[in-house]
Amino acid sequence: MARKQVMARAEQIAHETEPWATDSHNLEGWASNQAMLNRLVSQTEGERLTSVVHNPGEHGVGLLATVEVVMVGVTGNHWMGGEQTDYNVCVRFEVRRESSGPREVTAEAIDCPPGVPATRAPR
């Protein structure tokens, strides 16, 4: 259940980033692809694993940038003070653009690298 909730949140973040990245009437618009990755990581409140910018500018076609993030999901039995467990879920965000049109941001769950534990102690 925690993974489903985290992915729903990741997809919402990806969706909300698209207009920010393409709004030319806004000083924040037309951000570089690196700025988009920074914004995605910030909005997930997660930990950046890797990021690659294939095209640093505002324009370009194809796969422009990717970032992998560890996001935290919460699950537990809250009835009668039950315990809560935090789960790590790794997500890859991709920034793409077709030959014409705005940048698109997608999110997909990926296997976490060996160094990332399945659960995390509450902070």
* Structural domain count of the chain: 1
> Strand runs (DSSP E) across the chain, as ranges?
47-53, 62-76, 84-97, 104-110, 119-120
pLDDT at site 84: 76
pLDDT at site 48: 95
Domain extent, residue 73, equals 2-120
pLDDT at site 77: 62
Could you tell me how many residues make up the chain? Answer: 123
Q: Are 96 and 67 in contact (CB under 8 A)?
A: no
Sites in the chain below the pLDDT cut of 70: 1, 22-30, 56-59, 76-82, 121-123
User: What residue type is 63 in one-letter code?
Assistant: L
pLDDT at site 35: 84
Distances 88 to 5, 16, 80, 91 between C-alpha atoms, Å: 12, 22, 25, 10
pTM greater than 0.75 (yes/no): yes
pLDDT at site 74: 79
